[in-house]
Amino acid sequence: MTQSMTAFARIESNLNNLTITLELRSVNSRYLDITIRAPEECRESEQLLKTELGKQLSRGKVELNIRTHANAETDKVVDIELNMPLVEQIAKASHSIALHLHNADSVNPLDILRWPGVMQAKQINKKELQQSLVECLQQALVEFIETRQREGEKLATMLLKRCSEMEKIIKAVEKNIPNILETRKQKIVSRIAEFNIEQDDKRIEQEIVLLAQKMDVTEETDRLGAHIGEVRNVLKQTQPVGRRLDFLMQELNREANTLGSKSIDVTTTKASVDLKVLIEQMREQVQNIE
């Protein structure tokens, strides 16, 4: 199924008294480029999260944002622990200072508790946090990939519509070639009559044959048709197809240019321009396909 590289997903999860918010977004990119922004306690899980993303995605500039915050509900008791090494350092420093002061008051334990870093929320188990992050990411990826697929279906429909329009133009060019040759032949005959020159039917036929060879675009129209057929086949595939489609756009554009260079009639020139407009529209959208 064709997938877009543009998508967004957001998931929230609770781990004990911690809320984890995970946002996943991506835009088009030639390769898979993953950026993770996460708080310090989640740093150890970054490589594992990148591996999970790499299993599901093959292209796109992917940005994963992780935020955590402690829940503040009053009906929940938050476990705290004391930083005893810091407490001991503060007590030792206070005792040293008291030796140099006269009538120094004893240190109030509540004052020590107010010291930054003495009291802290109980550390979350790293394994539990890592497991929760992976589960959140897997949930987000389900929504994320569904969004990519929906967008990809729309892009595929647009591409198929342009393919049908191109096929109509190609058929019209093929059908019009005999009329162009006949018109050219009549112009040659008229010009001979205008200058009152003896008409050489054999020479005229030779000129028409040479002209037909010069403006023969059968090769180009055949290749255009083949490339369009390949675009249809590629869009049916399940694996990432963006790079293959990008290559086909280049080939289509090459044949459309050659068609225009061989043109000796305004209708064929217009057909070449119309084809290139459609191909450019397709190429712009192909840049968003994984």
> pLDDT tens-digit profile of 163-181?
999 999 999 988 887 776 6
Dist. CA 158–CA 269, nearest whole Å? 25
* pLDDT tens digits, 247-285: 999 999 999 998 888 777 788 889 999 999 999 999 999
Find the helix or strand (DSSP H, E) in which 210 lies: helix 201-214
Q: In 59-87, which positions are buried (b, 16+ CB within 10 angstroms) versus exposed (e)?
A: bbbbbbebebeeeeeeeeeeeeeeeeebb
The stretch 86-102 carries a mean pLDDT of: 79
pLDDT the model gives residue 75: 44
Q: Quick one: the chain helix, strand, coil %, rounded to 5?
A: 60, 15, 25
Q: Rounded to an integer, what is the distance from CA 256 to the centroid of its chain?
A: 27
Relative to beta strand 60-70, strand 32-37 is parallel
pLDDT the model gives residue 1: 74
pLDDT reading at 211 higher than 70: no
Q: Which of 55-64, 84-93, 186-195 has the lowest mean pLDDT?
A: 186-195
Provide the residue ranges of all domains of the chain, joining segments of one domain with +: 7-74+126-149, 80-121, 152-286
Residue carrying the six token digits 């090769």 = 219
Look at residues 139, 147, 138 and name the one whose alpha carbon lies nearest to residue 51: 138
Q: In 211-249, which positions are buried (b, 16+ CB within 10 angstroms) versus exposed (e)?
A: beeebebeebbebbbebbebbeebbeeeebbbebbeebb
CA angle (270, 271, 272) in 5-degree steps: 90
Relative to beta strand 60-70, strand 18-27 is antiparallel
Dist. CA 123–CA 81, nearest whole Å? 8
Look at residues 53, 52, 64 and name the one whose alpha carbon lies nearest to residue 8: 64
Count the Cβ atoms, other than its own, within 10 Å of residue 20.
20
Look at residues 132, 144, 142, 124 and name the one whose alpha carbon lies nearest to residue 49: 132
In three-state secondary structure terms, 26 is strand
Write down the CATH number for the domain with range 7-74+126-149: 3.30.230
pLDDT reading at 59 higher than 80: yes
* pLDDT tens digits, 214-245: 656 778 889 999 999 999 999 999 889 999 99
**The whole model's pTM is what?**
0.70
Dist. CA 37–CA 26, nearest whole Å? 14
pLDDT reading at 288 higher than 50: yes
User: From edge to edge, which strands make up the β-sheet containing 18-27?
Assistant: 7-15, 18-27, 60-70, 32-37
